[in-house]
């Protein structure tokens, strides 16, 4: 038995780097992923698609691991980077986008993602575990954004 948990997260923030620097880093999936916490492995699948294997959470036989794959599209003219799920890979379906807005020597970023995770847990646990999973997902994204901000501040 498995439970399905849907999550939507959006964040807006600014960095002290120009659009070209920001776009080039975010469009390079392996480089961008290096700022994301708890990635166990990022596996290239070809066609700008990657399989993400996150670190296991929990203990022993109760540990859960999120695995998913996305295909990425970067359009510098539109200042947009998008990703969509690769169907049939792992236990997560994740889509989203980065929208970049130049503001002089700075860049304003809009980030949005939607995820559906299928976890091998009894249905009775959905009410209890759903807020925990959503919090952990948001926390990972917040750490990712903080790491990007720190990188661009030092660049």
Every domain of the chain and the residues it spans: 3-154
| Token reading at 119 | 């976890």
User: Alpha-carbon distance 146 to 13, whole Å?
Assistant: 10
| Angle made by CA atoms 46, 47, 53, in degrees to the nearest 5 | 50
pLDDT tens digits for 128-147?
A: 888 988 999 999 999 999 99
User: Alpha-carbon distance 102 to 108, whole Å?
Assistant: 6
Q: Examine the pLDDT at 19 and tell me if it is beyond 90.
A: yes
In DSSP terms, 74 is beta-bridged to 81
Give the rounded percent of residues in the chain with a pLDDT score beyond 90: 80
- What is the reported pLDDT for 30? 98
Q: Examine the pLDDT at 62 and tell me if it is beyond 90.
A: no
Please name the CATH architecture into which domain 3-154 falls: 2-Layer Sandwich (3.30)
Nearest by Cα to 121 from 37, 64, 39: 64
User: Alpha-carbon distance 65 to 152, whole Å?
Assistant: 30
- What is the reported pLDDT for 61? 65
Q: Examine the pLDDT at 64 and tell me if it is beyond 90.
A: no
User: Alpha-carbon distance 100 to 22, whole Å?
Assistant: 8
- What is the reported pLDDT for 60? 66
């Amino acid at each position: 038995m498995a439970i399905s948990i849907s999550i939507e997260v959006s964040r807006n923030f600014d960095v002290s780097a120009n659009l070209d620097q920001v776009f080039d880093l975010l469009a390079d999936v392996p480089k961008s992923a290096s700022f994301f916490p708890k990635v166990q492995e990022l596996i290239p699948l070809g066609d700008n698609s990657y399989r993400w294997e996150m670190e296991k959470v929990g203990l022993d036989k109760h540990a859960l691991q999120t695995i998913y794959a996305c295909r990425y599209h970067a359009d510098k003219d539109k200042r947009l980077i998008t990703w969509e799920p690769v169907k049939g890979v792992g236990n997560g379906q994740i889509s989203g986008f980065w929208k970049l807005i130049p503001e002089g020597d700075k860049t304003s970023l809009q980030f949005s993602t939607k995820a559906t995770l299928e976890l091998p847990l009894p249905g009775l646990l959905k009410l209890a575990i759903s807020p925990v999973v959503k919090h952990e997902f948001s926390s990972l994204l917040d750490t990712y954004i903080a790491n990007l901000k720190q990188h661009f501040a030092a660049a």
